Amino acid sequence: MSENTESPAVSADAGGKSNMRAYERLLKYAVIHTTSDDNADTTPSTKRQFDLALLLAEEMKSLGITEVTVDEHCYVTGKIEATKGLEDRPCIGFIAHLDTAPDASGENVHPRIINDYDGGDVTLESGLVLSAGLFPHLASLKGRTLITTDGSTLLGADDKAGVAEILTMAETILKEEIPHGRIAIAFTPDEEIGHGARLLDIDAFGAAFAYTVDGGAENELEYENFNAAKAEFRIKGVSVHPGEAKNRMVNAALIACEISSMLPQAETPAHTEDREGFYHLTDISGDVEKAEIDYIVRDHDSSLFEAKLATLRMIEKILNERYGAGTVTLTVKEQYRNMIEKIRPHMHIVDTARKCIAAQGIEPVVTPVRGGTDGAQLTFRGLPCPNLGTGGYAFHGPYEHISAEGMDTVVSVLCDIVRSYAGQ
């Protein structure tokens, strides 16, 4: 069991240090509460995301990034002007998101540092055990500086690690005077609830193409993702006294259970992998009079995705025929589409990233994303945008962890991408 654990003291002015490593930035950002809210109808969904946005804007200015803005929707943008003589190189975008997932608490985050991690189990302060049984990759992190939660919250490396890595890349490019074309940077709100890219002004952003830095291991490269939608069933029941209920009562809670039973029981996240899609029950509540049951629906194959949505609509139809019109109302909200069909004409972006990952002495791993990123929406809006890893693992929960060395590797990958498109 690893016991060389420290509770990091993160100063408010950490952004002013020179030659800061990416993990130091992560520690600073992780303690800022930025959880998004799937039930809000505003952007940002939570005003607390401005706390990080405004801090980042000031840090960007201090690094020498220009045209820094935070707009009314909490989008942070900035530019790094091209090295003299390289103004004709394509403008590269780098994007990460500010918010953390509502799946677990993002408030009162207390990161923990394990120096020279021994590759074994880690007992977190809450009593949870970060174990090799659950996470076999832990052995590969032996000897690194491991950053974990205290077991009561998520860490927020998804995607504050991406934010930290992009700004560390920017600092490296500027301070070491690495030749570069124009670079555009954006940090977005509400990615975790599927809204992160919809209000980014792509024309003003100015990039010819971009990379989101929002994935897993540092050698990951992703340009295929789920088609995604949220499905909400709202059920109206008829509540009468149980003693007089025959042929009168319509139990909304039981209908919610019936909806669940009508879906393929094997098509859940717990039973699928790789490109296999699923229906994921996220919320269920109710009583006799009314009930709600919510799903997220995912599939890499667009035809199978449409078939899943058709199944949900058929369930709505069948139940309304069974219990009366208006008993069940289904609302489907599409979130993002599989980016691969729009990336294929621009495969140089993928090939360059693959080359830059390999240059770090690690094997690039191209995987289909069992989720989505801002890059999916941006790609369909006309900005080709594959996704790079951050070096993190076990996102969205108390087992989340990342290594300082993995983050360093990602920074090197980003710098090499910049060099590549500058012709260096």
* DSSP string over 14-58: GGGSTT--HHHHHHHHHTS--B--TT--SSSSSTTHHHHHHHHHH
The number of helices, as runs of H, and strands, as runs of E, in the chain is: 10, 19
Provide mean pLDDT across the span 374-393.
93
Q: Which positions ≥6 away from 54 have C-beta within 8 Å?
A: 70
- Exposure of 145 by Cβ count < 10 A (0-12 exposed, 13-18 middle, 19+ buried)? buried
In this predicted structure, what is the pLDDT of residue 12?
Answer: 39
∠ Cα 76 357 221 (to 5°): 65
C-alpha closest to that of 80 among 196, 195, 179: 179
- 311 pLDDT above the threshold of 80: yes
Rg over CA atoms, the chain: 23
Q: Say which residues have a Cβ less than 8 Å from residue 423's Cβ, sequence separation at least 6.
A: 86, 89
In the predicted structure, residue 2 carries a pLDDT above the cut 80: no
Q: What is the CB-side half-sphere exposure of residue 78 using CA atoms within 13 A?
A: 23
Cα–Cα distance, 34 to 48 (Å, whole number): 6
Residue intervals of the chain classified under CATH 3.40.630.10 are: 5-225+338-421
Average pLDDT over residues 206-235: 95
Catalytic position from the list 24, 59, 99, 171: 99
CB atoms within 10 A of CB 254: 15
Sign, CA dihedral 23-130-296-292, equals: negative
Confidence band of 6 (pLDDT split at 50, 70, 90): low
Q: Within 10 A of 41 (CB to CB), how many other CB atoms are there?
A: 7
Confidence of residue 341 (pLDDT cuts 50, 70, 90): confident
The domain covering 5-225+338-421 belongs, at the CATH homologous superfamily level, to Zn peptidases (3.40.630.10)
**Average pLDDT of span 313-321:** 98
Encoded tokens for 295: 């799903």
Q: How far apart are the first and last CA of the chain?
A: 45
Q: Is the peptide bond between 158 and the residue preceding it cis, with omega within 30 degrees of 0? A: no
Distance, in Å, from the CA atom of 56 to the CA atom of 58, rounded to the nearest integer, reads 5
Q: Give per-residue burial for 286-320: e unless 16+ CB within 10 Å, then b.
A: bebeebebbbbbbbbeeeebeebbebbeebbeebe
Kindly report, residue by residue over 164-182, the tens digit of the pLDDT. 999 999 999 999 999 999 9
pLDDT in tens, 385-423: 999 999 999 999 999 999 999 999 999 999 999 999 999
Edge-to-edge strands, sheet with 392-393: 5-6, 112-114, 146-148, 401-403, 392-393
How many C-beta neighbours within 10 Å does residue 394 have? 21
- Tally the C-alpha atoms within 13 A of residue 166's C-alpha that lie toward its C-beta: 35
Q: Looking at residue 5, what is its pLDDT?
A: 56
**Of 18 and 73, more confident:** 73
Among 191, 222, 258, 267, the active-site one is 191
Per the annotation, the verdict on 99 as an active-site residue is yes
Closest CA to 364 of 378, 352, 354: 354
How far apart (Å, rounded) are the C-alpha atoms in residues 99 and 63? 23
Q: How many CB atoms lie within 10 A of CB 12?
A: 8
Q: Report how far residue 327's alpha carbon sits from residue 315's, in angstroms, rounded to the nearest whole number.
A: 12
CB 319 within 8 A of CB 326: no
Q: Report the CATH architecture of 228-336.
A: 2-Layer Sandwich (3.30)
* Predicted local confidence at residue 385, as pLDDT: 95
Confidence category of residue 113, pLDDT binned at 50, 70, 90: very high
405 assigned to active site = no
CA angle 107–108–112, rounded 5-degree value: 120
Residue where the block lists tokens 């495969």 = 347
Q: pLDDT at position 16, please?
A: 44
pLDDT band at 36 (very low <50, low <70, confident <90, very high): very high
User: Is it the case that residue 15 has pLDDT exceeding 80?
Assistant: no
At 18 the pLDDT is: 58
Which regions of the chain carry the CATH code 3.30.70.360?
Answer: 228-336
pTM: 0.82
Q: Name which residue leads in pLDDT, 13 or 38.
A: 38
